[in-house]
Structure 1
Amino acid sequence: MSKNKRPQIKNEEQYEALKDQGYSKEKAARIANTPDEKAGKKGGKAPAYEEWTKDELYKKAQKIGLSGISKLRKDELIAKLRSH
């Protein structure tokens, strides 16, 4: 594939809307190329954040690079992780 071409986007309108909202090209493409039957379905088998310990939540937040988390309560950590 040449440098000027990008992979085919299945839902161009959704792709452009996501980019306008600030999504990266990669993430917008992944979402726009998701088949309709899989869209909106929960993935993975991980338990809900509410079932995690505060220490587990803190380590997850550190791992993904969130800042300003050292003094947050458990519910605040959950909110920060979900909004990331």
Structure 2
Amino acid sequence: MSVDEKQLDQLKQTLQADDYRMDVDVRGDSADVAIVAGPDACEECLVPKPLMQSMLGPVLGIDPASIRLVYPTDGPGADVTTS
């Protein structure tokens, strides 16, 4: 499968509305995704990581379990969650 660029852009726009930016790096069968908060971002507005991974899997064309996801609340040096 390949990345559904249209759906990815829609997801990025949805996050932007809450002052978040999503950086995505897909490499083969895995991906690194970082969600970065802007100054006006609402911490409670993000869905739990497992839900975000399940939403991203079909969009990125990979197994949600192979998405390494970092949230703004993880802070520097935080462990990256894969589930």
**Structure 1 length as normaliser, TM-score?**
0.25
Greater strand percent: which structure? 2
Structure exhibiting the larger radius of gyration computed from Cα positions: 1
Q: 1 or 2 for the larger relative contact order (CA 8 Å, sep ≥6)? A: 2
